[in-house]
Structure 1
C-alpha cells in the first residue's frame, strides 16, 4: 500500500493514475483497436496462414500498430518486466473469443530459447495461455515445442531477416490426432507459427489453429 502511495500505477498511454490492477485508463481503453474477429471466420491471419500451412481457425485480439497503444501494451509485456499484462490481455480475450464448436484439444505457446528466457525472466505467453486454459477448461502444454536456436526478437529484425527462416523448433514428444491452438504475441510474416505448425502437422494426424495477441496490419 505504501508503494502504491509513492509509486502509483499509471496508464501506460496518458500517465493518469489508475487502479493497481489496470493497464490503461477508461479513456485510453477506447483507443485500443480490437479486431472483432470471429473465430473460424476468414480474416487477415487465416489468409496469410493458408499461404504457409493448412490452418483450421485463427483469431487476433488487437490490431498491432506501430507507435500505437497496442504496441505499447505488447512492449510492456515483453520488455518492461510486466508479466501480469499477459493476464489482462487474456481477460480481454475471454470477453471476446467464442470457440463455438471448434474448441481445441490443448494450448501451446511459442517457446523462448533458454538463454532468452533467462534474460527476460519469464515467457511472456505463459500467463496469457494459462489464464485462457483456466477460463475455457482447455489444458496447456509448455513443453511440447522447444526452441533450439537463439534468435533476435522479431520486433528488432528488419524485413529481410524476418524472412530468413531456418526452422529452430522441434517437438519434445510425439503427438497425434490432436487439434492444437498455437499462441503467439504478434503475427507479422507468419514464419514463426508456420515453422511450429509444420512440426506439429508432420508429427501425425494433427490440426493447427492460431491465436495471437495482435496482428500486424
Structure 2
C-alpha cells in the first residue's frame, strides 16, 4: 500500500525498516530485557505485591529501566498513539506465559478516567487484554472497575509523589469467589495496582493475580 511505501514502519531501536505489525527488528529484540518470570512461581514482583495486598500470582513481561528499549516500547503504547503496540506485547506474553493449572476466571484492566480516555483516544490496556483473553480463552471485563478521580499520569510523577490512590477506584458489579487477573502497563510503586486489588478483594471472597507489561525496579 502507498502509505507503507511512503511511511514504512521502522524499528524503535535502530530505525531499520520492518514489517508493519512489528515493533523492533530481529536483531534489536535481543535488547529487550525480558524478565523470564514464571506466573505460578514466586518472583520479585510477587514479593513486591505481597507487601501491599494479598496476591496469588504475578508476572511481568519486561524490566522498565531508564533509557531502555522496553521503556521506549511502553511509551509508544501510552503516548505515541500506537494502540497496536498492545497487541504485539500481548503476543510476546502469550509466547512466555504459562498459567499451568491455575488460570484466572476473569481478566480486568486498570481503568482510565473518562477525561484521560478522551485525551488519549483509547485505553492502552484494552487491545492487549483482548488479545490475551482470546489466546487463553478467558473472559475479560473492561467495565468491572471504574476510576473515580482524574490524576496526573503516574509515569510523569516523581516516585516520592506517586500517592493519593485512596478511593480512586470502585467496583461496579457484584463479583464473588473468583480468581481475577489485574492487568496494567507498568508496576512502579504499586499504589495503583494495590488500590484496584483491594476493591476486588473487598467485593467478595475473591483472589487476585497481577500481570504487567513492565516492572520498574
Q: TM-score, structure 2 length as denominator?
A: 0.98
Q: What does 1:120-139 align with in structure 2 at a 5 Å threshold?
A: 120-139=120-139
In structure 2, what is the equivalent of residue 37 of structure 1? 37
Following TM superposition, by how much is the alpha carbon of 1:49 offset from its aligned partner in structure 2, in angstroms?
A: 0.8
In structure 2, what is the equivalent of residue 179 of structure 1? 179
User: How far apart in 2 are the matches of 1:164 and 1:175?
Assistant: 25
Partner secondary structure for residue 95 of structure 1:
helix
User: How far apart in 1 are the matches of 2:88 and 2:167?
Assistant: 31
Partner secondary structure for residue 96 of structure 2:
coil
In structure 2, what is the equivalent of residue 144 of structure 1? 144
Deviates more, 1:157-166 or 1:189-198: 157-166
Following TM superposition, by how much is the alpha carbon of 1:21 offset from its aligned partner in structure 2, in angstroms?
A: 1.3
In structure 1, what is the equivalent of residue 20 of structure 2? 20
Q: Number of residues paired by the alignment?
A: 217
Q: TM-score, structure 1 length as denominator?
A: 0.98
Following TM superposition, by how much is the alpha carbon of 1:163 offset from its aligned partner in structure 2, in angstroms?
A: 3.0
Following TM superposition, by how much is the alpha carbon of 1:197 offset from its aligned partner in structure 2, in angstroms?
A: 0.6
Deviation string for 1:125-171 (max 9, x for gaps)?
A: 00000000000000000000000000111110112220343230000
User: How far apart in 1 are the matches of 2:28 and 2:65?
Assistant: 15
Runs of 4 or more, structure 1, over 6 Å off, are: none
For structure 2, the 5+ residue unaligned runs are none
CA RMSD of aligned residues (A): 0.8
User: How far apart in 2 are the matches of 1:144 and 1:165?
Assistant: 18
User: How far apart in 2 are the matches of 1:25 and 1:41?
Assistant: 31
User: How far apart in 2 are the matches of 1:70 and 1:89?
Assistant: 10
